[in-house]
Amino acid sequence: MEITAQIAAELKLPAQYVQAAGELLAAGNTIPFIARYRKEATGQMDEVALRSLAERLEYLRSLERRREEIRQLIAKQGKLTDELSQKLDAATVLQTLEDLYLPYRPKRRTLATAAKEKGLEPLAVFLWDQRPQLEAATAEAAKYINPDLDVKTAEQALEGACQIIAEQVAEDFQVRAFARQVYARESILTSQAKVPELSSPYENYYDYREPTAKMPSHRILAIRRGQQEGVLKVSLEVPATLLADIENLIDDSLPSYLKAAVSDGCHRLLFPALERELRSKLIERAQEQAITVFAGNLKQLLLTAPVKGKTVLGIDPGYRTGCKLAVVDPTGKVLATATSYFTPPKADYQGGKRLLTELYRLYHPDVVAVGNGTASRETEEFIARASGEESLSLAYTIVSEAGASVYSASDLAREEFPDLDVTIRGAVSIARRLQDPLAELVKVPPQSIGVGQYQHDVDQKRLAQTLAAVVEDVVNAVGVDLNTASAALLSYVAGISAKAAANIVSYRDENGPFRSRAELKRVAKLGPATFTQCAGFLRIPGGKNPLDNTAVHPESYKLAAKFPPSEENLSSAQLQKLAAELGAGLPTVLDIYKALKKPGRDPREELPGPVFRREVVKLEDLKPGMVMEGVVRNIVDFGAFVDLGVKEDGLLHISQLSERYVKHPSDVLTVGQKVEVKILEVDLKRNRISLSRKGIRQ
């Protein structure tokens, strides 16, 4: 089937949309640009659909390249038959192609190749085609005795021929396909402790078995990690009848010596290969699920509502080296920095209170952003107590500091704050994360943000690519202020490379704020193609042209000028009529209409903001049955972790999410969501909190 038609059938889309999307991608257009400004051409595919299409296109093109490569390799051996060529043409997955090629693939020296070198391949063909009983087979094998080739007896010749047959069985396309299905449907993964007396995080898997077809990704990755750390022994079990089923598939009346050859081929070659293959697929599947969960969590985190117009005191808590403080104004400019030792071991409460009071009276911070790392708990207690004693109007909230240390030591942070100590940069980052999470988090490698599960156990290249795509989609969906955005943020805008982003910042530093989008064309290395891709995602508040502060692309400015006044509300029928009158597609008209109705709109502002607190709750204060408000910090396959304002996040297990069945926690929760939860259990020894939403109105 032709690639476009195949993808159209798989995605259930008209072929012309798939064709158009493929052509737009091939022409170098970015996915955010196509999704936002070429809706008519693609049938309004969103970024997710376009990325799936792009991946599928690449896979199928790779499949075609490999198909032709295999065809040529077999043809060079003079073994390409019409039947085999038809099978190659019919293959729709890479695994099928590789199975067809396996008998012809050059091999390292094996028992079978050694037997072929002794001239025993014709004997193997005869035995397999004729299937004589042992006596006749031995008589035929006697014809191949050749001491010069180290074949001294008929028994040796028969043994060598059976080794060739064993390899042929293991490489047989039909046999492999049948056995692979059995492994996929009916295999059971088992794990045992190497040292049962050893205490470890993997004790749940010390004597464990589960059908591989039903295993969730987090258990696959946990068992794999336990095996890699030398704690667990892992194996696969398949039905005991598999060998007999394979014999019946071939011929249920095979002579005993050929049954032995089939058994040898299966146990020595086929079954170990299929076990490796299945375990690899299980890990790949688990990794894809883990990456999907991470990507979803990251998107929700990046879309956290900004806290605009507030002066923020950011605190990076610590013990021995003290707590680092930074006050930043509503634009993110650093007003003051300091270090205080109000936490143990010095516990200088009075000195810390004097510093807090001084910073409050000098800079009037509206809120305090406390990093959630080491000494976070003590810092919360200090802020609540000190601000109460001094009558300071200060509320605080907890901010994830995941990745802050990575950013603080980066070249980007050194360029941004060359005169600040690396630890103080962390406090600045924490404060800015509250003001504009997206603008600050793009400075951190996405995989360091810490909102996933087993992120260190997955393919790091695949993870980085997926998370970078998430950041790109969110940045372009939100839009970027051209006159305040950092180079790190600009580099995620559609079409803008890291070099072009740096050139934009340099131009801005030398010439002052941009007054129009058109001025971008003066930036070095930013040509017409890049301008087309990026312009619609860049905003200029207060610029010469009001449209420069909207999502309307410059290519549609003339169209937008023909719209009625923005205060006029239009019905769907009126919009359809307007589209017809203007000779424009309805999706474009709808987008322009929405942009004109809400210029400068930030979709994040419609989402709930952070939870601010003034009092501290201790783990010891929590009792079973209490109902509290919390914030979802992380979502994993088996549940979600909820911040209740105590040192440890509580676990909301998937079984406690709702009265009804929940397939995955992400179906009912998002990172950053405010939730009411009931305390089920508090384990003070292990610092664990179990939560539930059952019985709570949702």
d(CA 599, CA 518): 18
For 277-319, write each residue's pLDDT tens digit. Answer: 999 999 999 999 999 999 998 998 899 899 999 999 999 999 9
What amino acid is encoded at 565 in this protein? P
CA dihedral 589, 591, 596, 597 (to 10 degrees): 110
Element (H, E) at 308: none
Neighbours of 180 (CB within 10 A): 18
Q: What percent of the chain has pLDDT over 70?
A: 99
Lowest mean pLDDT among 299-303, 341-345, 364-368, 499-503: 299-303
- Rounded CA separation 96/368 (Å): 59
Q: Comparing C-alpha atoms, which of 472, 461, 471, 379 is closest to residue 427?
A: 379
| Pairing between β-strand 688-692 and β-strand 650-653 as defined by DSSP bridges | parallel
176-195 mean pLDDT: 97
Comparing C-alpha atoms, which of 288, 632, 217, 237 is closest to residue 462?
288
Predicted confidence (pLDDT) at residue 269 exceeds the cutoff of 60: yes
pTM value is 0.85
Distance CA 339, CA 423 (A): 10
Taking residues 453-478, what's their average pLDDT?
88
Strand partners, 146: 151
Q: Is the peptide bond before 345 cis (omega within 30 degrees of 0)?
A: yes
Instruction: Report the Cα–Cα distance between both ends of the chain, in Å, rounded.
Output: 48
Q: What are phi and psi of 112, to 5 degrees?
A: -70, -40
- Cα(50)–Cα(493) distance, integer angstroms: 17
Collapsed DSSP state (helix, strand, coil) of residue 603: helix
CA atoms of 477 and 586, how far apart (whole Å): 20
Tell me the helices (H) and strands (E) count for the chain, helix number first. Answer: 29, 15
pLDDT at residue 1, as a whole number: 52
Residues 32, 473 contacting (CB under 8 angstroms): yes
Cβ atoms of 7 and 56 within 8 Å: the answer is yes
Residue with tokens 């946990």: 222
pLDDT band at 698 (very low <50, low <70, confident <90, very high): low
Give the mean pLDDT of 366-384.
91
**Average pLDDT, integer, range 175-187:** 97
Q: Is pLDDT above 90 for 612?
A: no
pLDDT of residue 346: 95
pLDDT digits (tens, 9 = 90+) for 127-161: 999 999 999 999 999 999 999 999 999 999 999 99
Backbone angles phi, psi at 290, to 5 degrees: -65, -40
Which residues fall within 8 angstroms of residue 406, CB to CB, at 6 or more apart?
444, 445, 448
pLDDT at 696: 83
Mean pLDDT of all residues belonging to the chain: 93
What does the alpha-carbon distance between residue 236 and residue 213 come to, in Å, rounded to a whole number? Answer: 12
Question: What's phi and psi for 316, nearest 5 deg?
Answer: -100, 100
pLDDT, position 616: 67
Q: What is the pLDDT of residue 630?
A: 86
| Range name among 234-243, 327-336, 601-610 with the lowest pLDDT average | 601-610
pLDDT score at 534: 98
Q: CA of 229: how far to CAs of 225, 233, 286, 454, in Å?
A: 6, 10, 18, 14
For 511-550, what is each residue's pLDDT tens digit?
999 999 999 999 998 999 999 999 999 999 999 999 999 9
The token pair at 202 is 């993997």
Q: How far apart are CA 250 and CA 247, in angstroms?
A: 5
Its sign, for the CA torsion 464, 465, 469, 470, is negative
What gap in Å lies between CA 213 and CA 647, rounded to an integer?
Answer: 38
- Give the mean pLDDT of 426-452: 89
